Structure 1
Amino acid sequence: MVFAVLFPGQGAQFRGMGADVFGRYPGLTRFACDLLGYDLVALCRDDPDGVLAQTRHTQPALYTVNALHMFERAHHEQRQADYYLGHSLGEYNALLAAGVFDFETGLRLVKKRAELMAAAHGGGMTAVMDTPEPQLREIFAADGVAGVDVAGFNTDQQLVIAAPDNVLHAAHIALKERGVRFAPLRVSAPFHSRYMAPARDEFEEFLRGFTFAQPQVPVIANVTGRAHRPGEMVRTLSEQLVEPVRWTDSIRHLLAADPELECEEVGGQSLLRMVARIRKATPVANSEVRN
């Protein structure tokens, strides 16, 4: 039976996270604080300045907490994964778990990624419910709303769109007039869209300064919904900033290998709920998975 371990991304943070693991890994925790230049434990425990939800802080904090939970999981010799995958930021924890880089390298990558994404502004993201992509594009075309990108395929019932503020405002009007349910996300920029191209270019150059090992366990890439391919780590991770998170394709890829796919989420339940919705909407198939 195929078993996958899932890592959540930005949006899964909460005040008090990490309280159960910081004390068990004091060395790694101190290192993270030193590299980041602030008290990560206090940030997660108290969020004294209300900045935990800011991209610059959210991503390194969540990467660290996810990593410590992963180390705790390994310490207790829990069931070994056949696949790792993470949602957006969570992909870095999946790559860490698969041995592609060590904790320090991952934290340096995430810190840079967070800084670049935080520097982007003038846009946002919105979750749209029960409206397939073709229908969504028809709605926007009918109302002359141009410049909306699909930034995430979370389930068949939920897409995420991204655009500059004025475009996103027009998109909201078009959706509201047709009774389509939507929920703006609390982010500062249109992540996973064409508008992140400048950040993508800078991040790609940064990534070229690192060496990546081959995954010891397959890691499903957000960009392709398939396992990372040899020699394409830099391109795939940089493209993740401008391409949609193909979570539905990723889970269906594993369901094709084993309809009885079992999953465990590190530190939460939101991804497991997505998996349950995707499974419910997926016809049973007996094809073999191909990387």
Structure 2
Amino acid sequence: MSYKGYLIDLDGTMYLGSAAIPAAKPFVEALQAREIPYLFVTNNTTKSPADVQARLSESFDIHVPAASIYTATLATVDYMNDKALGKKVYVIGESGLKQGIKDAGYVWDEENPDYVVVGLDSNLTYEKLAIATLAIRNGAHFIGTNPDKNIPTQRGLVPGAGSLIASIEMATQVKPVFIGKPEAIIMNSSVKTLGLAKEDVIMVGDNYETDIQAGIRNGIDTLLVLTGFTPEDKVASLPVAPTHVVNTLDEWVF
């Protein structure tokens, strides 16, 4: 089937930690040569779109505009703007998330924030968890940037943002609003950005729990690539099959 637009994951699909995935560069160049619209949709909040663009270029020789990168940070800001509860926020996360929220006009507040936003934080401390827990128990709106339990790296599967968020959910007994894949919030915004109908778009990714479920839950065809999170031996037992499965992206026929 021919698709008019592609939504593409990054971690495990374009690269694996610091290791290149050989088929990724030709796949992107094939989209560009055919002038097929594409958008990288990533649950990674640690970097800004410009940072992601630079990393793709410098580390993997994949050259794309920053506007083609839609992060869970951007989707989180869009959600907070729509929710309009106030401008005070406490964030657990790294520079991409904190700076993105600050640039959108939100101010830091550890005592009485309107929102607590939790993403991946490689410098997580008990104190950060305590501040977030107390704020949520005091009525702050609890946002989880993405539910990823793990991140595929060259070392193996390491803890993802979802693992951090789960600890705060346990401590507060409050379920977060999740923004990133597989939730409708990020997917609807992504499809809108492409300017296409859902039936004309395909979601490409390595993680059945996030990338492929994002398509299944939101009426978008899916392409599971077996270069990251979901291994080949799990495919036959998946509860709902992806629309397409390939070992690597060089097997895909446009």
Highest CA radius of gyration, 1 or 2?
Answer: 1
TM-score over 0.5 for the alignment?
A: no
Structure with the bigger percentage of helix: 1
TM-score by length of 2: 0.30
TM-score by length of 1: 0.28
Structure with the bigger percentage of strand: 2
